[in-house]
Structure 1
Amino acid sequence: MVMKKTRNNILKGLASLVLVLVLASCEKFLEETPHSFLAPENYYQNADDAFSALVGAYVGLGDGANTFLARRVHYLTWFPSDEAYTPTLAAQRQLDNFSFNADHEDIRNVWTHMYDAINRANIVVGRVATINMDEDLKQRYIAEARFIRGLCYFYGVRLYGGIPLITAEVTAVDDVADITRATAAEVYAQVVDDLTFASGVLPPTNQQGRATQGAAKGLLAKVFLTRASSDAAESNDYQRCADLAAEVIAMPEHRLMPNYQDAIGAANKFNAESLFEWQADRILTPVGKQSVFGQFTLPRDIVGLVPEAGQTGESQIVSEIAFFNRYDDRDYRKESTFITAGTNRQGEEVGWQQFTFPFPAPAWKYVDRTATTRNAYAFNANYVVLRLADVYLMRAEALNEIGGPTEAAYNMINAIRERARNRDGNNQNGYPEILSGLTKEGFRDAVLEERAIELGFEGHRWFDLVRTKRLVETIKAAHPDYQVAEKHYLFPIPADELIINPNLEQNPGWKANEN
């Protein structure tokens, strides 16, 4: 009995057995989340039921401040890169200094939440197909669910490598108790299949917070770019990335925002540059339903940064000083990303070196500076999974890998630099300068650096360092004493999963007898 109970707990990420039904308003897709419990065989009857199941799948991407895109996946990627540091979170300090092991709570939680979201998507794919409803609407709902599933497996294959591949609804723990790992190539193939289907069905526009054609094509371009440098690479991956990126860039529904702050700020969610966002502030109460990034990235004991008197931040997520120093003082993106000065509780103006925890605070991408009535936890920007600037830089990188730094490749990266240089079109200071005359290797380095500055703290840096095989050298340069090694290009399979299912092979370097 005890063993059965333990197995149920450990495998809950692979066996989401309770249907979460969500009633959404027309104006805001994920505004409310009342939970109901019905037997599945009695529920899937009509288009309203299909829509509720779909919203439940979106909720799987983050339902509370401690879940997938709301927090945990970012802990696995922010801290083990050269980007972020935590002065206060003990468990996450292990991620930062590479002292974690397969028992780490975030490694386990990300696995669990990921498979919960996958199963929710599988429910939609499998059960909505049997409902008698408008066929076009049915296919769109299935395409959205497959986008969610593809997104989750893309996270999974990058974090853990080849993982169990489950594409049908799990209805009993025994369905997955003895499952084996698929190869990375097989997982990538499933992701490509899901996103290709989604990109052919999804509309170019949709309700806020829902996947669109641009989101599916943009994410698929990133899949090809990532796979291209992996052991699962196919010969045309870079070309497919470049072509898809061009299609997204040409879509009239999407454009680079003229002002960088309009592209990233909390007050500008679902703007024309955004391709897909997870809604961080869809419920104002209780506190646990929001992302905590706004509160966690505000500096501690610095007042006046949010409207309510006395409110301050927690400094739980700060910038590595070396990463902060990558930003030139002339670069508009520096002041748009970091809080570097403020007023302390004694009324003194202090720089970041005098903060309670003396690190620059990368708060402006997650704090709504325009809000006036919500508590500090709710001053949150949505988490932007993908935006058009990323696609520009993906195309630049892919074109360079195909044929070196062509004019088209330069056009992509220089468009991003021009936006940073021009600010709102009125303040030109000549920086960052137009790039030209680089070698293929020099252009490759320039794109990686541009991605660090343009997309800082948006969840891409660790993935970029891993896919370009630069994680170890980058961390060693910043922290020579950190025990980062080749094994850290993948996270370990959670230890609990291995105990219950001996068919799951651990990743190289993570077995108990391996260094």
Structure 2
Amino acid sequence: MKKNILQIISMIVLLVSIQSCSDSLEETNPNSVSTDVYWSTLTESNDNLTSVYGAMLNHFIWFFDVDAFTSDMAFPSDRRNPRGSYTPFYQQRFSNTNKELTQRWDALYQVVFRANQVIDGLNGMNADLKSQPEWTEQMAQARYFRGLAHFYLHSTYNEGKIIIRDFIPASSEEFSIATSSSEDVMVFFREDLKYAYDNLPASWEQKTRVSAGNAAFNLGKSYLYSSEYDKAIPYLKDVIENSEYGYRLLDGEDVNLLFTQAGDYNDESIFELNYSDKQQTEESQWDEESFNNRWGRYFGPQSGKIGGGNSWVIPSAWLTNEYLNETLDATDARNFVNDGSGGLKLRSVSLRCSQLIAVVNDEDKEYYLQPKANSFYGFGNTKFSNFKKYSNHDISTSEALVLGINWKSGKNVIVDRIADAYLMLAECILQDSGDVSAALNYINPIRKRWGIVQLEATDYNATTLMEHIMHKERPLELAVEGYSTRNIDLRRWGITKSRLEELAAQDWNLIEYVSLDGKKFPKSLIQPGISPDTSDNTITIKEYVDAANNYQDNLHAYWELPLSEVLNNQQSSN
């Protein structure tokens, strides 16, 4: 499956302009694609459609690192010496002069231009080709990605007032287009997504292609984002209940597949970025459409020969603490492990914690092919946890061994999965009808599959359950995942400023952990409160203080139009 799609993409790079840059260079003009499209067969158009999929591999679309820092998910490396290039985002000091705003803008519009090229070429075909099912399926895929890119842009920039591009500019005058209203943009991208929903198959033999389920997921999400809960519910129910899509929550022992190489394109995955550690391995890590990605370096732990990452993106204190304190279901046999003397003991942390982050007191989960995380990683220097989602901890002892350098990872990236649909549907039900029991029907299956105690309807009302979704279920399940998921959630709930202020007021301290084999790990385990030892400032942890002081809704809730767009497009401010 993976090999076939990658071979097609490798041929396409010879036919379309390929964007390549380092993190110190600006993006290539996404309008550099040819406007002369003459395709005489659906094979030719399908080859060019694959270039749209290739454009989605661009790191700058996703910015999992930047988005983690501008939300409440992560800290930029060592808390005593935060990584400088990330501090404008973590401290909420960024503006439209930061290159990242231009990089994401250009990367998403490159997807739009590629999709428009395919749409233009398909529309230019003869009636016989247009009558074939393959023509409709290709048009639906191209319109899906054009709609998705506009949806992402709308969710990120200028309060949704972005530029609608539905044709390939042939001149500088056609390139300079005024921004549209947020409402007009929503109408536009939903028309594309609805066309995709109506015309894509429910599934493909190869899951690398988008299906009607992808369109249903993003239509539902778009209506949730605009607080049109009644319109979101049917699409989200379709994603969950339509057996033709083949989606399901992984449960039982299958939860161990999530975010691992063995779990590529598992039944929970809705949309996945397809990378490889076997195809085109010589390609530069700075080629934004290469088959490798840089996330292993950013998220993997920094620890000599084992681990081999840089620990640039590490979980925030509050998030780590929430994972550590999930209540295990004592009736779930998976929560009991060998105690070393022939008996059983309760797991040290939840299955969700073990699968998604590494912590010093997780004595039961292998990490970088070592028996447990503290076998090789000391969790010192204020780095008391690590994200696992984007690292190669399941297949190698070091990020550097996967492709010979820790800048390159072949690990797939799950963008959308059905767990998000469950949580979005629970929220829509609460907001639409206030039915706590009905909402819990979509929250508790996620908790059950992780062996976490079920929530009882008698303990919540619509308000308190919504707060639980906002501060526990969504961030713990979807941490640093999807397209700017946490940032958009905080903004649409209207709580970004208050959330940062709440976190800035919290105190944390680090204590020593003694492993089951008697090894001591000083200042490695996070706990709430002020440390009684005031002589050591590396014990006390404070986060988000600058962010709480600096954050302003009008500057940071949405990204501004990039300065490059303002300067080069004379109509962009109209």
TM-score range normalised by the length of the shorter chain: 0.7 to 0.9
Determine the structure 1 residue equivalent to 2:311: 315
> Shift of the alpha carbon at 1:33?
4.7
1:148 to partner: Cα distance = 0.8
- State whether structure 2 residue 282 is matched by structure 1 residue 285: yes
How many pairs align? 451
Residues in 1 aligned to 2:200 and 2:8: alpha-carbon distance in whole angstroms: 16
Q: Secondary structure of 1:25's partner? A: helix
Is 2:477 aligned against 1:454?
yes
Counterparts in 2 of 1:216 and 1:142: CA distance versus 1, 3 Å: same
1:128/1:142 contact within 8 Å kept? yes
Q: How many percent of aligned residue pairs carry the same amino acid? A: 21
User: Paired residue for 2:439?
Assistant: 409
Residue 348 of structure 1 and its aligned partner are, at CA, apart by: 8.8
Contact 1:153 1:191 (8 Å CA) reproduced: yes
After superposition, the CA RMSD in angstroms is 2.6
Closer, same or farther: CA 42–151 of 1 in aligned 2, 3 Å: closer
Partner of 1:383: 413
User: 1:25 aligned to 2:4?
Assistant: yes
Q: Is the 8 A contact 1:319 1:360 kept in 2?
A: yes
SS in 2 for 1:79: helix
Distance verdict in 2 for CA 1:43–1:336, change over 3 Å:
same
- Which one of 76, 88, 102 corresponds to residue 86 of structure 1? 76
> Contact conserved, 1:337 with 1:365, CA < 8 A, in 2?
no
> Quick one: structure 1 residues 367 and 287, their matched pair in 2 at CA, closer, same or farther if it must change by over 3 Å?
farther
2:241 alignment partner, one of 250, 275, 281: 250
Alignment of 1:33-72 (within 5 A): 33-36=12-15, 41=36, 43-63=38-58, 66-69=59-62
TM-superposition CA deviations, 1:6-62 (whole Å, max 9, x none)? xxxxxxxxxxxxxxxxxx936866465532369654642211110111011111212
Aligned to 1:185: 183
Q: Structure 1: where are the runs of 5+ without partners?
A: 1-23, 229-236, 306-311, 422-430, 507-515
2:551 pairs, out of 475, 480, 484, with 484
Q: Does 1:354 align with 2:415?
A: no
Are residue 332 (structure 1) and residue 328 (structure 2) matched? no
CA contact (8 A) 1:297 1:366 kept: yes
Question: Aligned in 2, Cα 1:74/1:170: closer, same or farther, shift over 3 Å?
Answer: farther
Quickly say closer, same or farther: Cα 1:94–1:175, change in 2 above 3 A. Answer: same
Q: Which moved more, 1:211-220 or 1:168-177?
A: 168-177
Aligned partners of 1:79 and 1:188: how far apart in 2?
Answer: 27
SS at match of 1:197: helix
Q: Structure 1 residues 473, 302: closer, same or farther in 2, change over 3 A? A: farther
Q: Which residue in 2 is equivalent to 1:139?
A: 136
Aligned counterparts of 1:172 and 1:58: Cα–Cα separation in 2: 26
Q: 2:499 aligns with which of 474, 495, 513?
A: 474
Write the letter of the residue equivalent to 2:429: L
**What is the CA–CA distance in structure 2 between the aligned matches of 1:328 and 1:302, rounded to whole Å?**
26
Is the Cα contact below 8 Å between 1:181 and 1:505 reproduced in 2?
Answer: yes
Pair member with larger Rg: 2
How far residue 193 of structure 1 moved from its aligned partner, in angstroms, is 0.9
Which amino acid in structure 1 is aligned with residue 359 of structure 2?
Answer: T
- What is residue 432 of structure 1 aligned with on the other side? 453
Separation (CA, whole Å) in 1 of partners of 2:234 and 2:477: 22
Query: Is the contact between residue 277 and residue 385 of structure 1 (CA under 8 Å) also seen in structure 2?
Result: yes
Name 1:11's counterpart in structure 2: none
2:213 is aligned with what amino acid? G
Q: Residues of 2 paired with 1:59 and 1:225: CA distance?
A: 28
Q: Distance in 2 between matches of 1:408 and 1:283?
A: 48
In structure 2, the gaps of 5 or more residues are: 17-32, 326-348, 361-366, 504-543
Preserved CA contact (<8 Å) 1:30 1:279: no
Distance change in 2, residues 1:453/1:39 (3 Å): closer
Q: SS of 2:386's equivalent?
A: coil
Question: 1-side partners of 2:183 and 2:217: how far apart?
Answer: 20
Could you list the runs of 4 or more consecutive aligned residues of structure 1 that deviate by over 6 angstroms after TM superposition? none
Q: State the Cα deviation string for residues 437-479 of structure 1 (Å, max 9, x = none).
A: 2111111112222011111121321121111111111122222
SS at match of 2:207: coil
Q: Tell me how far apart the structure 2 counterparts of residues 352 and 325 of structure 1 sit (CA, whole Å).
A: 18
State how far apart, in whole Å, the 1-side matches of 2:35 and 2:572 are: 30
Match of residue 507 from structure 2: none
> Where does residue 562 of structure 2 map in the other structure?
494
Q: Which residue of 1 aligns with 2:121?
A: 127
Deviations along 1:240-298, one digit per CA (max 9) or x if unpaired, are 21111111111221111113332332321111111111223364332412221122111
Q: Residue 223 in 1 paired to residue 222 in 2?
A: yes
Structure 2 vs 1, CA of residues 292 and 52 (structure 1 numbering), >3 Å: closer, same or farther?
same
Q: 1:127 to 1:301 in 2, by over 3 A?
A: same
User: Could you tell me how far apart the structure 2 residues matched to 1:32 and 1:408 are?
Assistant: 49
Superposition TM-score, scaled by structure 1 size: 0.81
> 1:117 is matched with which residue: 111, 114, 135?
111
Offset from partner CA, 1:201-238 (integer Å, 9 cap, x none): 1111122322111111011111110011xxxxxxxx20
**Cα–Cα, structure 1 residues 197 and 39, in superposed 2: closer, same or farther, change >3 Å?**
closer
- Higher mean alpha-carbon deviation, 489-498 vs 361-370, is at 361-370
Whole-Å separation in 1 of the counterparts to 2:7 and 2:494:
41
Structure 1 residue 146: deviation in Å? 1.2
Q: With the length of structure 2 as denominator, give the TM-score of the two structures.
A: 0.73
Q: Distance in 2 between matches of 1:352 and 1:159?
A: 38
Counterpart of 2:300 in structure 1: which amino acid? L
- 2:267 paired residue number: 272
Quote the Cα distance in structure 2 between the aligned partners of 1:463 and 1:363.
22
For 2:492 and 2:34, locate their aligned partners in 1 and report how far apart those are by CA, in whole Å: 43
Structure 1 SS opposite 2:72: coil
Contact conserved, 2:13 with 2:51, CA < 8 A, in 1?
A: no
CA 1:39/1:224 → structure 2, altered by over 3 Å: closer, same or farther?
closer
Question: Matched residues in 2 for 1:102 and 1:351: separation?
Answer: 38
2:247–2:267 Cα contact (<8 Å) kept: yes
Q: Tell me, what secondary structure is at the counterpart of 2:545? A: coil
- Partners of 2:296 and 2:11 in 1: CA distance: 21
Question: How far 1:499 sits from its partner (Å)?
Answer: 2.1
Residue 424 of structure 2 aligns to which amino acid in structure 1?
Answer: M
Alignment of 1:156-175 (within 5 A): 156-160=153-157, 161-175=160-174
CA distance in 2, matches of 1:51, 1:444: 44
Aligned partners of 1:320, 1:52: CA distance in 2, in Å?
43
Deviation at 1:411, TM superposition (A): 0.5
CA 1:283–1:267 in structure 2 vs 1: closer, same or farther (change >3 Å)? Answer: farther
Paired residue type of 1:36: L
CA contact (8 A) 1:414 1:435 kept: no
Partners of 1:291 and 1:36 in 2: CA distance: 22
